[in-house]
């Protein structure tokens, strides 16, 4: 029996065939958002999208979700994104990082 599909925890307009760049930002502890990590992650994502001519989706965030034991793969935004990939709802040529 298939697992129930996770609802995306991010905004995603299905664009058909337009390749997108998805910036996945994760921090294990919510207080980390007060530092410079989010800004640095977004800056790198924006540069990548511009360099490769992609439209950037900046809404994928798992704040306070640990990756130590793979929790981010089974719940939260990344889990929903992986479901979209498995169901081929992400346009071909898209990139995630």
The verdict on residue 7 lying in a domain is no
Residue 50 pLDDT > 70: yes
Question: How many domains in the chain?
Answer: 1
Task: Please give the distance of CA 25 from its chain centroid, rounded to a whole number.
Answer: 7
* Distance from C-alpha of 39 to C-alpha of 61, rounded to nearest angstrom: 13
Structure tokens at 45: 């994502």
Q: Per this entry, what is the length of the chain?
A: 97
- Reported confidence tier of residue 47, pLDDT bands at 50, 70, 90: very high
Q: Within a domain: residue 91?
A: yes
Q: Is there a domain that residue 11 lies in?
A: no
Q: Please give the mean pLDDT across all residues of the chain.
A: 79
Active site residue 28: yes
Q: What is the pTM of this model?
A: 0.69
Flag whether 2 is in a domain.
Answer: no
DSSP per-residue codes, the chain: -PPPPPPPSS-----TT--EEEEEEEESSGGGGGSSHHHHHHHHHHHHHHHHT-EEEEEEEEET---TTSHHHHSSHHHHHHHHHHTT-SPTT-EE-
Residue 70: predicted pLDDT: 85
Average pLDDT over residues 4-8: 45
| Containing structural domain, residue 92 | 20-96
Residue 4 in this model has a pLDDT that exceeds 70: no
Q: Sorting pLDDT into bands at 50, 70 and 90, what band is 14? A: low
Kindly name the residue from 28, 37, 66, 94 that is annotated as catalytic. 28
């Amino acid at each position: 029996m298939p697992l129930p599909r996770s609802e995306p925890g991010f905004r995603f307009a299905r664009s058909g065939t337009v390749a997108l760049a998805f910036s996945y930002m994760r921090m294990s502890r919510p207080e980390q958002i007060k530092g410079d990590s989010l800004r640095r992650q977004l800056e790198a994502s924006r540069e990548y999208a511009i360099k490769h001519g992609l439209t950037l989706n900046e809404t994928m965030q798992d704040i306070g979700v640990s990756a130590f034991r793979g929790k981010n793969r089974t719940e939260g935004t990344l889990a929903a994104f992986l479901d979209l990939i498995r169901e081929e709802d992400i346009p071909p040529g898209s990139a995630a990082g």
